[in-house]
Amino acid sequence: MADAVFVLGMTLTTLAAVVAVGPPAYADSGAAAQRLAETYSPIVMLRDFHAECGQGEHFVPMRVDALLDNPDVALRQVGNGDAVIEWGPSAADLYGRATGTYLDLPGDALEPGCIYAQDAARYAPVSQAAVYAHVTTQADRPGYVAVQY
């Protein structure tokens, strides 16, 4: 089967910071921010690879809800063996966490085998690729607006 090529005219959803590390000087999720994000959104071409664990890029921008409430994902705290805080954390579980917490996906990064490619195909099929936009400013750069994708 020939590889399918998908052009992703970015699915934009303004995302409030999931893991807060400090409030931005300004963040906007209104209509003006949506228009700004859509105006400057990058266009990405994604290739759907059908050969599991074969050559090529298996990872695409994915929707955050593929990881939230997922029982295979652990919320961990750095230190003391990186203890599991919760399995299958929700957005509410992540909000307001201090630096040093992270999402741990299945597999071993040092010996990945095919687990990451298999999970990417399962959690993030190319047809559901998405990118989030965050419109913000920086306190030490007044008058400038940044769009983060």
Tell me the pLDDT tens digit for each residue of 6-20: 333 333 333 333 333
Q: What is the pLDDT of residue 115?
A: 84
Q: What is the pLDDT of residue 23?
A: 46
Please report how many Cα atoms fall inside a 13 Å half-sphere around the Cα of residue 143, on the Cβ side. 0
pTM beyond 0.75: no
Q: Report, as ranges of residue numbers, the positions in the chain whose pLDDT lies below 50.
A: 1-24
Q: What is the pLDDT of residue 28?
A: 63
